[in-house]
Amino acid sequence: MIFQTGTTLRLGVVGLGCRGTSQLGVLLDMEDVTVTAVCDVYEDRVQAACAKVREAKGTLPFGCEDYHKLLERKDVDAVIIMTSWTTHIRIAVDAMNAGYPVAMEVGGASSLEECWQLVRTQEKTGLPCMMLENCCYGRDEMQVLNMVKKGLFGEILHCQGGYHHDLRDEVGNGDINRHYRQENFLHRNGELYPTHELGPISKVLELNRGNRMVRLTSMASKARGMHLWMQKNRPDHALAQAAFREGDVVTTMIQCANGETIVLTHDCSSPRPYSRGGLVQGTNGIWMEDNASVFISGLSPERENYWAPEIWEPFSNYRAQYDHPLWKAYENYGLRGGHDGMDFLVLRAFVESVQNGTPTPIDVYDTAAWMAVTSLSEQSIALGSAAVDVPDFTNGRWIGREALPESVYALDAVHDHLFND
């Protein structure tokens, strides 16, 4: 089942909720991609997706409610999984065992064992396995990565990130809109959604490529936000009296083998503006997302005198010179897809890696390690913020694995278009 270069990549899409439907649209806009099979546990979603594919491509895909049937298709080259968080890995494992390259949407793991299953299956089959962490393709995140690689921040010491997103409506109405977040917030207490920030940080710190996470500890605040929201907005619902387990603010500290620290925050049950709370600090400078600023020693304006305070410089000052090459090309090509263009880029990265037989920029070790943080943080909180060790999913390979070349982020489609026009 090796994809023939130059032909249209035929995808099977599993999971057609809000996110799956959105990403399906991005995929269907690609000329060298088609969708030959779709699957969701809800029949209405399958029908809607079939109609959407036919409208875009003129052909009706195979539709099913049991993903095992999709994994029997001969007309599928690769599978994209956009189901509920807790089902990503089991479907990915089955898909690789059935011979398909897989990409999966973001989310966290329920156990370390399923992370190991993912790794073992990928190593056994040799098939691509990539998390579709779109924030690795965020313009700011990629510019910061570019500045890190060019040494502007010096040696990196500390990174922070968070998923600061008021999702009370979504969680509170989860039973109506069939969103799995509600049951996760009801039953779990941990860093449920680490990858939007940990993904870009992982690239900055070159985790699994000469560095790795070795230890973490987590702490959860009390859980009040969802209870208050339910009481106010759905007072007659059974959950208005329920105890949501997920702490309103969950903080996780991670130590890396090379001595860096990472702080992650999960913060989705309180009123506040959205932020991914990015911060990268090195021996020569610092970037902070929340004030949209940097301070780079030797580049940022010098303070007036020794007693005057150092002052922040707008991050935007560095856009022209340090915008990531991929993003420069992408802007010329024309931004498309959701979430400020990130969705298109991450899907293209998977599509073109499969088409070209090249390594995916996010691989199974990244996916397993990032997802494991969820399970580990739950353990740590359950044990009173005990320090827990992060497994080495590479089994020692991290020491010798080299950093990704910048070209791994380059998108052929973008560059072809750019350089040929």
Closer residue to its own copies in complex, CB, 72/310: 310
Among 49, 95, 213, 249, binds its own copies (CB under 8 A): 249
Look at the block and give the residue holding tokens 């009706």: 60
- Min dist. Cβ of residue 196 to its own copies (A): 15
How many chain residues interact with its own copies (CB under 8 A)? 51
d(C-alpha 163, C-alpha 152), whole Å: 26
Q: Looking at 57, 385, 413, 418, which residue binds its own copies (CB under 8 A)?
A: 385
Which one of 141, 260, 343, 378 is in contact with its own copies (CB under 8 A)?
260
Whether 184 contacts 246, CB under 8 Å:
yes
- Counting other chains too, the contacts that 232-240 makes at CB distance below 8 Å and 24 or more residues apart are 233/172, 234/172, 234/173, 239/172, 239/175, 239/182, 239/186
DSSP string, 68-107: HHHTT-SS-SEEEE-S-GGGHHHHHHHHHHTT--EEE---
Considering beta carbons, is residue 46 or 220 the nearer one to its own copies? 220
d(CA 211, CA 148): 15
Task: For residue 317, state whether it binds its own copies (rule: CB under 8 A).
Answer: no
Q: Which of 29, 65, 310, 416 binds its own copies (CB under 8 A)?
A: 310
Residue closer to its own copies, measured from CB, 291 or 316: 291
Q: Which range of residues in 66-74, 81-89, 281-289, 334-342 is near its own copies by CB under 8 A?
A: 281-289
Residue 263 has a CB neighbour count (10 Å cut-off) of 17
Give me the 193-222 binding string for its own copies, x by CB under 8 A, dash otherwise.
----------------------x-x-xxxx
Considering the complex, state which of residue 107 and residue 277 has its C-beta at the smaller distance from its own copies.
277
> For the CA atoms of the chain, what is the radius of gyration?
22
Among 58, 309, 396, 400, binds its own copies (CB under 8 A): 309
**Residue 15 Cβ, how far from its own copies at the closest point, in Å?**
22
**Considering the complex, what minimum distance in angstroms separates the CB of residue 357 from its own copies?**
38
Please give the structure tokens belonging to residue 336: 């498309």
Take residue 392 and report the two structure tokens written for it: 């080495």
Residue 293 bridge partners (DSSP)? 288, 314
User: Rounded to whole angstroms, what are the CA distances from 37 to 16, 84, 402?
Assistant: 12, 18, 36
Residue 68 phi, psi (nearest 5): -60, -30
The single residue among 122, 270, 367, 377 that binds its own copies, judged by CB under 8 A, is: 270
Residue 274 binds its own copies, judged by CB under 8 A: yes
CA torsion 12→18→22→24, rounded to 10°?
10
- Residues in contact with 26: Cβ distance below 8 Å, sequence separation at least 6, in sequence order: 336, 337, 338, 343, 344, 347
Q: Does 134 bind its own copies (CB under 8 A)?
A: no
Closest approach of Cβ 222 to its own copies, in Å? 3
For the CA atoms of 196, 197, 199, 204, the dihedral, rounded to the nearest 10 degrees, stands at 150
The count of residues in the chain is 421
Beta carbons of 277 and 160 less than 8 angstroms apart:
yes
Structure tokens at 99: 């011979």
> If binding is defined by CB under 8 A, does position 177 make contact with its own copies?
no
Q: Which residues pair with 314 in a beta bridge?
A: 293
Select the span of 121-129, 130-138, 270-278, 366-374 touching its own copies (CB under 8 A): 270-278
Instruction: State which of positions 22-61 bind its own copies (CB under 8 A).
Output: none
Span 156-175, contacts to its own copies by CB under 8 A? 157-158, 166
CB of 202 to its own copies, least distance (A): 16
Q: Residue 93 or residue 201: which is nearer to its own copies going by CB?
A: 201
74 binds its own copies (CB under 8 A): no
Smallest separation, CB 144 to its own copies (Å): 15
**Contact between 257 and its own copies (CB under 8 A)?**
no
The verdict on 343 binding its own copies (CB under 8 A) reads no
Q: Which residue ranges make up the site for its own copies (CB under 8 A)? A: 155, 157-158, 166, 215, 217, 219-222, 224-225, 228, 247-249, 251, 253-255, 258-261, 263, 267, 270-274, 281-286, 288, 290-291, 295, 297, 309-312, 383-387
